[in-house]
Structure formats: C-alpha cells, structure tokens
C-alpha cells in the first residue's frame, strides 16, 4: 500500500467521523475548566516576553524561568485582583443594604434633579409614573431587594463551590506554567496539524496573537487605568464606595465612544444636584480631561496601530462575549470578531489577487509591540 493510498483511507468519511467524535468528547470533558484554560492561554501569551527575559537572565533554565514568571503573575496580578474583588463585594453589599433600608435619600436627590429638568421632560416622566419622588424611591428599593437576593445567591454559590474554585485556580496556574515553558513548540505543532492551507495558517495565527495583545493592552489595561483615575477622582470628591465606582468605570470603559461617562456623568449630576458644586465640577473636569483622555493617550502607546475592528463590532462582540462567557468574553468576543474579519479578508485576497492588501495592514506592526 502506497503512502497516498494510506492517506486516502485515513481521510475517508468514517475516520473523519471518528476524529470529530473524539474531538467533541475531549471538548466536553475539558469544558468545565474552559475558563481557567482560557485565562492560562491569555496569560502565557501576554507574559511570554517576561518569560523570555527570565530565560535569558537565569541562564536558559526553562523550569526556573516559568516559575519566576508565575510568581510575578501571582503577586502582581492575582493577589491584587482578589483583594480588590473582596473590597468591591463588601461595598456593593453595603450599598444594596442601604437602599433596602431606605438610608439613601433617593427622594431628596430626585426632587433636586427633577426641578432642574425642562418642562417637557418633566411631563414625560409624569406620563411614565416616574414624576414623583415616592415612586422613584419605591422603584429603587425594589431594585435593591432584587439585587440583594442576587448577591446573596451568588455568595452562597461561591461558598458552596469553594473546592471547585481552588481546583480551577490550581489548574489555571498549572497550565500557565507549561504554556509558558512549551507554548511555542505546542503552537507550532498545533498549526502544523490544522486542516487548513499552509499559506493561510500563519496569517490567522499572526492575526490571533495581534488581536489578543491589542485587546488586553487596549481594553483591559486602559480600562484599569481609567478605573483607577475614576476611583481617585470619586475619593477626592467625597463619594462613598469609590472602589465599586472605580470598577464600574473600568468596566464601562470597554464600551466605545461613551465608555466611562456612563459612571462619572451621573456621579457629577448627583453631586451638583445635592449642592456639592465644586465636587461635581471636579468630577466633570476630571471625566473629560483626565479619565476620558487617558484612552486617547495610552491606547496608541500600548497597542500601536489599530486592530482593524470597527467600534460597533467591538461593542457587540464584547457585550455578547460577556453575556455568553462572563469576564472571559471581554477578550473572546473581539478575538472572534478579528478572526472573522481576517478569514473573510484572506478569502477575498485569494479570489482577487490584484486587490490592494489593506485589510491586514494594521496587524503587521503589532507583534513588535509585545
């Protein structure tokens, strides 16, 4: 039997069905740990330059370099994230309890804001049964009660699955270690086994790495900076729960165009309506000149050139990714969008060789940013 005949037999319908079933079975078995596996892959991609630096400094010891990189990840990223998460949960719970017990004067704040609105807006609110402070207070307390029930159920779920959290956390670190040490070899082997044309695979791999780096640097890092600037601004203005407000500012910064203004805008309005004039002006000025400008200043430095994904697609895929996969969707959504655009642009260039190569220009300089 010749090599060609053997290849034809292996690629017959029955063997391909067997491979598909085994692949699906492996995916189903690994699915409970898809989130830690995903974060491990992202960490290995982002911290690969640090691993290479340790590899050089430690004399080529792959195991020692991987352990040193994991220590940096643990103390610089994981521990601060767990601490901030604990503070956010505590502040969110206190806000919910204050709403539920009526200790937050929503009625007084509403009266002050309502009197400042144009007559046409006041009439519309009256038609929607939102023109009285008592109705707004009732709606706010109902929302707080629902939120408190959600927080309580989530707390019970987290407590009840503490072993699962520790297991997932350990698996994530374990996989990150091996991906840091052997990631390049594994990536090369995986690309070699993909059932795609040899000239297409490198382009998709380059596009994938570029979008992952751009998404993490341009969205998560910039969002954290904007959240920190927002928290500092709210603290100076005397707002309570500044860590919670800072986290909300960081989350909403993922949305193109409006972004953090969804948070600092109402905060400034609240301060102005309650008579804290200089504090409200401070939040407005900081929101426009500092928090808002941070994105324009940092994104070109961290990301370099644009990823080529339209803002509306980033918005849809980010929100859809969060709804489908939680926080991991912040990265997964834009990555899928970028691969979608890259795949169709590659097909277009194959069918139209004379067309100008504009779609992939933004990715050429990206690998050099790492």
Q: State the residue range of the domain holding 329.
A: 192-370
Q: Which of 185, 217, 243 is the last residue of a domain?
A: 185
Same domain (yes/no): 257, 322: yes
Q: What is the pLDDT of residue 154?
A: 52
The token pair that represents 222 in the structure block = 């910039």
Range of 57-61, 132-136, 160-164, 266-270 with top mean pLDDT: 266-270
Does 68 have pLDDT greater than 80? yes
Confidence of residue 269 (pLDDT cuts 50, 70, 90): confident
**Are both 250 and 167 inside the same structural domain?**
no
Mean predicted confidence (pLDDT) in 86-92: 79
Of 185, 206, 237, at which residue does a domain stop? Answer: 185
Q: Which of 146-155, 244-253, 260-269 has the lowest mean pLDDT?
A: 146-155
Q: What number is the average pLDDT over the span 62-74?
A: 89
> Cβ atoms within 10 A of the Cβ of 249, count?
28
Q: What is the pLDDT of residue 146?
A: 58
Q: Above pLDDT 90, what percent of the chain?
A: 4
- State how far the alpha carbon of 95 is from the alpha carbons of 83, 99, 195, 228, 360, in Å: 19, 6, 53, 20, 47
pLDDT bracket for residue 124 (50, 70, 90)? low
More confident: 272 or 164: 272
pLDDT reading at 26 higher than 80: yes
Residue pair 338/307 in contact (Cβ under 8 Å)? The answer is yes
**Among 256, 253, 233, 255, residue whose Cα is nearest residue 243:** 233
Supply the pLDDT for residue 366: 41
Give the phi and the psi of residue 276 in degrees, each rounded to 5: -85, 80
In total, how many domains does the chain have? 2
Work out the pLDDT band at 235, boundaries 50, 70, 90: very high
Task: Return mean pLDDT, the chain.
Answer: 75
Measured CA to CA, the distance from residue 364 to residue 370 in angstroms comes to 13
Same domain, 168 and 212: no
Whether the full predicted model's pTM is greater than 0.85, yes or no, is no
**Dihedral sign of CA atoms 33, 36, 42, 47 in order:** negative
Instruction: Kindly state whether residue 2 falls inside one of the protein's structural domains.
Output: no
- pLDDT for 81 beyond 70: yes
Those residues whose C-beta lies under 8 Å from the C-beta of residue 190, and which sit 6 or more positions away, are none
Q: What is the pLDDT of residues 288-301, one digit of tens each?
A: 888 888 877 777 77
What pLDDT does residue 275 have? Answer: 78
Whether 137 maps to a domain, the answer reads: yes
Contacts for 288 with CB less than 8 Å, ≥ 6 apart:
none
Query: Does 155 share its domain with 262?
Result: no
- Is residue 316 over pLDDT 50? yes
pLDDT of residue 100: 66
Residue 362 CB burial class (10 angstroms; 0-12, 13-18, ≥19): buried
- Per the rule left: phi > 0, alpha: psi between -120 and 50, beta: everything else, 197 is beta
87 lies in the same domain as 163: yes
Q: Are residues 249 and 336 in the same domain?
A: yes
Does residue 23 belong to any structural domain of this protein?
no
Which pLDDT does position 105 carry in this prediction? 62
Q: Does residue 99 register a pLDDT over 60?
A: yes
Output the six-digit token pair for 293: 């400008």
Asked which of 185, 214, 234 is the last residue of a domain, the reply is 185
pLDDT of residue 345: 80
Tell me: do 216 and 333 sit in the same domain. yes
């Amino acid at each position: 039997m010749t090599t060609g005949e053997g290849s034809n037999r292996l690629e017959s319908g029955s063997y391909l069905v067997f491979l598909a079933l085994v692949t699906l079975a492996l995916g189903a078995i690994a699915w409970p740990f898809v989130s830690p596996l995903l974060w491990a892959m992202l960490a290995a991609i982002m911290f690969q330059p640090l691993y290479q630096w340790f590899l050089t400094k430690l004399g080529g010891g792959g195991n020692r370099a991987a352990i040193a990189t994991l220590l940096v990840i643990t103390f610089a990223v994981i521990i601060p994230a767990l601490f901030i998460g604990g503070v956010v949960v505590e502040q969110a719970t206190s806000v919910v309890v204050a709403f539920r017990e009526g200790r937050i004067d929503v009625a007084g704040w509403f009266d002050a804001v309502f009197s400042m609105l144009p007559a046409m807006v006041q009439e519309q609110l009256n038609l929607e049964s939102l023109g009285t402070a008592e109705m707004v207070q009732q709606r706010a307390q109902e929302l707080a009660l629902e939120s408190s029930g959600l927080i309580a159920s989530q707390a019970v779920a987290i407590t009840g699955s503490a072993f699962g959290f520790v297991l997932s956390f350990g698996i994530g670190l374990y996989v990150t270690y091996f991906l840091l040490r052997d990631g390049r070899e594994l990536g090369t082997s995986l690309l070699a086994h993909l059932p795609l044309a040899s000239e297409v695979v490198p382009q998709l791999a380059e596009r994938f790495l570029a979008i992952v780096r751009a998404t993490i640097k341009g969205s998560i890092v910039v969002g954290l900076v904007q959240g920190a600037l927002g928290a500092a601004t709210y603290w100076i203005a005397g707002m309570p729960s500044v860590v919670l407000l800072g986290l909300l500012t960081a989350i909403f910064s993922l949305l193109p165009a409006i972004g953090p203004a969804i948070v600092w805008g109402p905060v400034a309005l609240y301060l102005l309506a309650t008579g804290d004039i200089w504090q409200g002006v401070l939040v407005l000025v900081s929101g426009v000149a500092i928090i808002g400008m941070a994105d324009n200043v940092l994104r070109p430095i961290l990301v370099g050139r644009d990823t080529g994904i339209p803002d509306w697609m980033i918005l849809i895929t980010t929100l859809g990714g969060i709804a489908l996969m939680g926080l991991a969707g912040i990265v997964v959504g834009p990555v899928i969008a970028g691969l979608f655009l890259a795949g169709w642009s590659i097909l277009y260039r194959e069918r139209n060789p004379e067309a100008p190569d504009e779609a992939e220009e933004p990715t050429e300089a990206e690998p050099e940013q790492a």
